Chains A and B, each alone.
Chain A
Amino acid sequence: MSSTDMLQVISKNGKAKRGAEPNLPKKTLLAMYEAMMQTRLLDERMINLQRQGRIGFYVPSTGEEAAQVGSCMALDDTDWLFPSYRVPGLFLMRGVDIQHLVANCFGNEADLCKGRQMPVHYAFAEHKLVSISSPIGTHIIHATGLAMAQKLKKDKGISAVYFGDGGTSSNDFHSGLNFAGVAKAPVLFICTNNQWAISVPIEKQTASETIAIKGEAYGMPGVRVDGNDVLAVYDACKKAADRARKGDGPTLIELMTYRRGPHSSSDDPTRYRGNQADEWLDRDPILRFRKYLEVADMWSEKQETELIERLKAGINAEVKKGEAAGQPSLETMFTDVYANVPPHLREQYENLVRDEGTGHEPDPDAAFPL
């Protein structure tokens, strides 16, 4: 298969291509479906919260659920993941409790990042999900470095890094793939090509025929996958992961999809692309996977209704808790800058407490829509 072909397993009507189905048990398939649905519902709820001024910012991933869940399913617990924006499905699939995602979006005292970053900049060390930064592409080379370390230590794990089509233009896409190619590092470069980087379409991002084809120049295979087909995504990522684990080096994987919503809560996509997103409604990855499960007699209307109700109730309960929680304590502004608080930071903290006290009210502009 060349890097310009597109791998697909489930057709639009839910039928699997003969011989193309990965061998996954029913329980796993249903867990994947649930994670995709939970991702969709979480995104919808959080964007609503933002619109109501209850959280400051959000980045929805609507339409990209298969790319997140399928790729994550192909990885092991020993593997390290470097997420980007638009991948809540990774966290859910990997077992992060939804309360931690909600706490992060509120930036409250329960947030594991201690309210230090905007919403959706998650970090979960326990699940080997590395901290997200806003500058684009900088983490691609981190994944390579970490994979070089895994190889040096002769450990079992590999690393995987997520980025979008815009990220392929960044400095560290180049350095990340180049270093990985030279070092034969066990890393998967997973590009979710949703065709838009805020308002800039893919054809203004690169003149390359595909993203996948770029792998060739770095000495690694590039594969192009229907990113709305969760089984195709799983299959491609599993093969690439097996390859990396065997010591055969990195793979660039291009997951073709479409960013149905805005880049973030801060922009209005109709300004730059009209109603183009509507064309992608019937290519919905959840709908397609649901048809597949129904055709295979694994899913029913009743199960669908029950699942949605259960997931919504869970999200609502966490939102309630998240909103009620207090803000992080004043000390958290000064800790974790260094391993130990140095004298000049201690002095600044003490002066702040002396002059302004510790009883800071929550910022009335906390949900300022950036």
Chain B
Amino acid sequence: MSSITMVQAVNDALREEMRGDDDVVVLGEDVGINGGVFRCTADLIDEFGEERVIDTPLSESGIIGAAVGMALYGLKPVPEIQFSDFIWPAFDQITSEMAKMRYRSGGQFTCPMVVRTPYGGGIRGGHYHSQSPEAYFTHTPGLVVVIPSDPYDAKGLLKAAIRCEDPVIFLEPKRIYRAPKMDVPDDDDYVVEIGKAAVRREGTDFTITAYGAMVAVALEACEKAAEQGWSGEVVDLRTLLPLDEDAIIQSVTKTGRLVTLQEATKFCGFSSEISAIVAEKAIDVLEAPVKRVSGFDVPFPYTLEHVYMPHADRVLKAIEGVMTY
């Protein structure tokens, strides 16, 4: 065990998988000598050389497209998109090519690969360094979408993603890149299974679903709710697609109340899907309407970022709403 940050966890996962499999390569902007703008690929070039840690020209569609070609040939590329806000030139490559290769070729061709990209607000990055694009990708059949909420999961899920047979969008919540630290296993074989949610706090009165940096906000809100005598359960989704529906239904069946939490914009957000699934499959257990806490339906603001971002008190209001309905 080592006590490490999420950045170190990502770096360790990449290093271990590259040591274990010569076909794993990293490519992207500034990932080589600079080690990535967040240092997630730091020092990999020293150990694995320029051939496997590739500084590419500045083109997101080029990075993902080249990785698709590499994956077709049998490599296991892990391209980095510097900020998820810059991913859109590669949207065609991701949704029309990477995601559909297996299906459209009748299973003759596949391109398993992991697109890593930092996402989310809380670093005063304005709208081009802060957005949460997960719903664009969860709307695309063929993609696996994974979001860790702490260093332990970041390492274990990334290692599992690199070993996955399907293409994975791996969104890293950069707000918690450098804190908190956490004990993470050094064991090469340790992975966190894709497709399984985790209950981060057990409770009996209400459920909060969250992912990424919002898990900590959900836990903080539950602390505050406990002062009022309300017992909250937090389900960290970890994988958004394919979604662990059972974990959500199980928790809501126990508590009877649901607050969904995300920092992305609200309309057609991922939480809306959770709300719909619960409405379809478990409306009988609900004792109050579902409440969604999210960012607002505006471009991500700079100066008023702290107002935009969901915080514990705002979540507490929603908890009060479902508890006093």
A residues neighboring B (CB under 8 Å): 80, 111-114, 116-117, 121, 123-125, 130-131, 133, 135, 138-150, 152-153, 159, 171-172, 174-176, 178-179, 182-183, 335-340, 342-344
- Asked whether, in the complex, the Cβ of B96 is within 8 Å of the Cβ of A337, the reply is no
Given contacts A145-B65, A175-B65, A178-B57, contact A343 B73 (CB under 8 A): no
CB pair B61–A344 under 8 Å, yes or no, is no
A138's closest neighbor in chain B, by CB?
Answer: B97
The chain A residue with its CB closest to the CB of B111 is A142
Complex Cα–Cα for A338 and B195 (A): 13
Q: Are A336 and B59 in contact (CB under 8 A)?
A: no
B108 proximity list for chain A (CB < 8 A)? 112-113, 123-125, 131
Q: Are A123 and B72 in contact (CB under 8 A)?
A: no
Q: Mark B98-109, 1 if CB is under 8 A from A, else 0.
A: 001111111111
Chain A residue numbers with a CB within 8 Å of B100 are 133
A113 vs B75: C-alpha distance in the bound complex, in angstroms?
Answer: 23
Residues of chain A within 8 A of B69, CB atoms compared = 141-149, 159
Determine the chain A residues whose CB is within 8 A of the CB of B89 once the complex forms.
171
> In whole angstroms, how far apart are the Cα atoms of A89 and B57 in the complex?
34
Q: Give a binary string over B61-78; 1 marks a CB under 8 Å from any A CB, 0 the rest.
A: 110011111111111010
Is B284's beta carbon under 8 Å from chain A? Answer: no
Expressed in whole angstroms, the Cα–Cα distance for A172 and B57 within the complex equals 13
Question: Are A339 and B57 CB-contacts (below 8 A) given A141-B62, A152-B51, A175-B65?
Answer: no
Q: Bound complex: CA of A344 vs CA of B243, how far in Å?
A: 8
For B, the interface residue count at a CB cutoff of 8 angstroms equals: 47
Cβ-closest chain B residue relative to A82? B69
What residue of chain A has the Cβ atom nearest to residue B165's Cβ? A339
Measured in the bound complex, the distance between the Cα atoms of B69 and A283 in whole Å is: 37
A112 touches B106 (CB 8 A): yes
Given A133-B100, A135-B96, A179-B56, A142 and B72 contact (CB-CB distance below 8 Å): yes
- Which A residues lie within 8 Å of B67 (CB)? 145
Docked Cα-Cα span, A123 to B72, in Å, equals 13
- Is B110 part of the binding interface, using a Cβ–Cβ cutoff of 8 Å? yes
A133 with B97: in contact, given A112-B108, A145-B65, A175-B62 (CB under 8 Å)?
yes
Shortest beta-carbon distance from A184 to chain B in Å = 12
A residues in contact with B54, CB < 8 Å = 148, 183
A to B CB contacts below 8 Å, 28 in the list: A112-B108, A113-B104, A114-B106, A116-B106, A123-B106, A124-B108, A133-B96, A135-B92, A138-B65, A139-B97, A142-B65, A142-B72, A143-B69, A145-B69, A149-B69, A149-B75, A152-B25, A159-B69, A172-B62, A174-B59, A174-B62, A175-B65, A178-B59, A337-B103, A339-B102, A343-B242, A343-B245, A344-B245
